[in-house]
Structure 1
Amino acid sequence: MERLTFKCNDKKIESGKETILCGIINVTPDSFSDGGKYYGVELAVNRAKELIAEGATMLDIGGESTRPGSTYVEIEEEINRVVPVIREIKKITDIPISIDTWKSEVAKAAIDAGADIVNDITGFLGDKNMVKVVSNSKAGAILMFNPVIARPEHEGSKIFPKFGAQGVFDKKEYEEFNSLPIEELMFKYFEKGLNLAKENNISKDRIMLDPGIGFGLTKRENFILINKIDMIKERGYFTFLGVSRKRFITNILSENGFEIDESQTGQRNKDDASAKLTAIASFKGVEVLRVHTIKPHLMAAKIADCVRLANQMEDINFKA
């Protein structure tokens, strides 16, 4: 498969190399896993230092929780949460920084503060001005398939907040597309955002695609999209994947008798299980993985990368 290049500002990332771990910094009081832990500039910047020291080579900063049952954060409040953090982190590192937002005003403020990538969980479809913000910059973009707004009447969508525009498909499309296998629905959704990108002169090498794991998907659908994630690269795009600590993982752990509470054991179980999926994704060649903790994912990715890149490994003999 051909090597791909992703560009954001003055940075370039090439495919076919070691997996990139993108550390999550939630500057929120209510995110599903670590809400409140890094809420504030000092806490968030210290967390960034920890993630980088452990091996993160990209950071994703968000100021609004998108978990089921979360509430809308006003634009000014979201900007006040993330912009000071981005400015301070830019003083200590040059690794790519992603702003996790679907609101164009927040994205613009973050880019002006130094963000390199806009991680839009609506894939340019939630806020009609988002594509213009990215187009008018040199930032890259992560476009996520969002089943919640692709099929708002689906049972799994109803527990999520609204992400800007609803009903991205017209009535005819909705009836036709929602009977498709989930991976085909994903690409019908991507098609709309990618067409907007093309119309606004955002080149293909500035875009990553994210299958939207956990957003209103059934248990089966989550695993189908992970199993078939190679399809994104086959279309010529970098792949961005976030599975860390998500509900479908904790569901499997719970069904099989593993602790999943907020105790040290419960958190370790969730991170270890998430890392198993990191190993699978790394082996499949996913370029970027969004994770809460680095160490278990780094070990998993390193081993999987060695298998995937076996022909590039040093050919040595081991001592007795």
Structure 2
Amino acid sequence: MAIEIGVKFIDNLQQARAEIMVVGSDPAGWQRMAPKAVHRVLKLTGVNPTQANIIKQEMLARGGEAAVARGVVNHSAETTDVLIMATLKQYHAFIEKLKMQPFGLPKLADRIQDALDNLEGYRARRLNCRGKLLELGNRTLVMGILNATPDSFSDGGRYQEPAAALEHALRMVEAGADIIDLGGVSTRPGHSEVSEDEEMRRVLPVLEKLVQSVPVPISVDTWRSRVAREALEAGAHIINDQWALRGDPGLAAVVAEYQAPVILMHNGHNTNYRDMMSEITAFLREGIEIALEAGLARENIIIDPGIGFAKTYEQNLEVLRRLKELTVLGCPILLGTSRKSVIAKTLDLPVDQRIEGTGATVALGIACGADIVRVHDVKEMVRVARMSDAIVRGNSHEG
């Protein structure tokens, strides 16, 4: 019999153990060999030459590698990025040694360990949305978009009246929506800013109807602390903040007071990045730290890369390609691509003809780690999500 050669892509320790078990190795060997099968590449930024030299030496001593700038050796570089390449076994020995070093390296060792732990993925758990529970991790959740605005790019003006909004929300729930996201301010390019009073005038009457009759959690899309407080008082379950707690310094305290889950989205004022994904990650990490310092539980934090916000067409596509990198933060990822301009520019289609493009981004987003998808076309995207889950998460069943 000819020997066949195959390839295995090992993403985490659980998968490594399973593959080793299939070979028939002794169970005692699974634990020992599995860390050798998982290879991680981590990128550090803002490292000074002294730190970088120690990191490189210690990693080389354990059989791994660390790429640094040329100016590190003679200290001509003020700071450097460091690309660390190693197996989990090598990282373990490296981290233990790094904890013995000076120059702030013990704290860095703890952060590297946290990053590695986050990349293993988090176990399925329940998200407590102020009394309403959502199961995270078993399947992709679908968030239905409900705009109580006159000028949203897709459906502005259609659901401003509470009765119409409620009817649409119930249709989305019937179609499979797990969350309804209510917004009172358009975020389309060129939108006009509205006052807090106007935002509340749009949102609160609709919200009052929704919390009375809609069985799933209601998220309110706002960055303003006063609007968030009024919404939470009225019964909202989640706050969706497009500025990751930067737009209003009082919002973090409000969300923490009510212990409501919060969605932190990346945003900015321009598209100038030196290292886009590193900067998006840093922005979201800072938002997480703001939330934690305010007293919000970490398990109540969800992150969103902000497709269509402070990004060019090419940058949006790059974020979608590299979405999996955000798993290093250890939080569930929400992806909102529905009908957006990145689809319009790719397919040259009007708003009402972007379902297939949205479906492609949803499917690939789920494959890259998205836990929640925010969409207009709920029925169709629930089907896309279920098919994607069958492939990615193994949630298959015979119908």
TM-score, reference length from structure 2: 0.67
Alpha-carbon deviation of 1:4? 5.0
Residue matched to 2:153: 32
State whether structure 2 residue 129 is matched by structure 1 residue 21.
Answer: no
Residue matched to 1:234: 328
Using the alignment, how far apart are the partners of 2:273 and 2:267 within structure 1? 16
1:42 to 160, 163, 172: 163
**One-letter amino acid matched to 1:193:** G
Q: Secondary structure at the match of 2:354?
A: helix
Aligned 8 A contact 1:119 1:142 in 2: yes
Aligned 8 A contact 1:58 1:96 in 2: yes
Residue matched to 1:294: 378
Q: 1:70 to 1:179 in 2, by over 3 A?
A: closer
Q: Secondary structure at the match of 1:18?
A: coil
Residue matched to 2:295: 201
State whether structure 2 residue 315 is matched by structure 1 residue 221.
Answer: yes
Q: Secondary structure at the match of 1:106?
A: helix
Residue matched to 1:190: 284
Q: Secondary structure at the match of 1:99?
A: strand
Q: Secondary structure at the match of 1:238?
A: coil
Q: 1:247 to 1:179 in 2, by over 3 A?
A: closer
Aligned 8 A contact 1:145 1:189 in 2: yes
Paired positions, count: 278
Using the alignment, how far apart are the partners of 2:246 and 2:286 within structure 1? 8
Query: Percent same amino acid among aligned pairs?
Result: 33
Deviations 1:128-181 (A, max 9, x none): 110011011021100000033xx4xx4xxxxxxxxxxxxxxxxxxxxxxx5432
2:212 to 87, 91, 95: 91
State whether structure 2 residue 393 is matched by structure 1 residue 313.
Answer: no
Q: CA RMSD in A?
A: 1.7
Aligned 8 A contact 2:166 2:206 in 1: yes
Q: Secondary structure at the match of 1:278?
A: helix
Q: 1:108 to 1:48 in 2, by over 3 A?
A: same
Residue matched to 1:210: 304
Matches within 5 A, 1:109-124: 109-124=230-245
Q: Secondary structure at the match of 1:7?
A: strand
Alpha-carbon deviation of 1:286? 1.2
| Higher relative contact order, structure no. (Cα contacts within 8 Å, ≥ 6 residues apart) | 1
Alpha-carbon deviation of 1:13? 3.1
Aligned 8 A contact 1:59 1:96 in 2: yes
Report runs of 4+ in structure 1 exceeding 6 Å deviation. Answer: none
Residue matched to 1:171: none
- List alignment gaps of at least 5 residues for structure 2: 1-120
**One-letter amino acid matched to 1:144:** M
Alpha-carbon deviation of 1:191? 2.7
Residue matched to 2:77: none
Residue matched to 1:175: none
Using the alignment, how far apart are the partners of 1:252 and 1:38 within structure 2? 28
Aligned 8 A contact 1:279 1:304 in 2: yes
Aligned 8 A contact 2:281 2:329 in 1: no
Aligned 8 A contact 1:147 1:212 in 2: no
Residue matched to 1:68: 189
1:304 to 388, 391, 395: 388
Alpha-carbon deviation of 1:233? 2.6
Aligned 8 A contact 2:285 2:329 in 1: no
1:59 to 170, 177, 180: 180
Residue matched to 1:261: 350
Aligned 8 A contact 1:19 1:285 in 2: no
Q: 1:233 to 1:251 in 2, by over 3 A?
A: same
Using the alignment, how far apart are the partners of 1:71 and 1:47 within structure 2? 25
State whether structure 2 residue 122 is matched by structure 1 residue 2.
Answer: yes
Residue matched to 2:132: 11
Aligned 8 A contact 2:223 2:242 in 1: yes
Q: Secondary structure at the match of 1:24?
A: strand
State whether structure 2 residue 252 is matched by structure 1 residue 131.
Answer: yes
Q: Secondary structure at the match of 1:37?
A: coil
Using the alignment, how far apart are the partners of 1:4 and 1:198 within structure 2? 21
Using the alignment, how far apart are the partners of 2:390 and 2:335 within structure 1? 20
TM-score, reference length from structure 1: 0.82
Using the alignment, how far apart are the partners of 1:122 and 1:130 within structure 2? 10
Q: Which has the larger radius of gyration?
A: 2
Q: Secondary structure at the match of 1:147?
A: coil
Residue matched to 2:4: none
Aligned 8 A contact 2:323 2:369 in 1: no
Using the alignment, how far apart are the partners of 1:300 and 1:308 within structure 2? 12
Using the alignment, how far apart are the partners of 2:223 and 2:136 within structure 1? 26
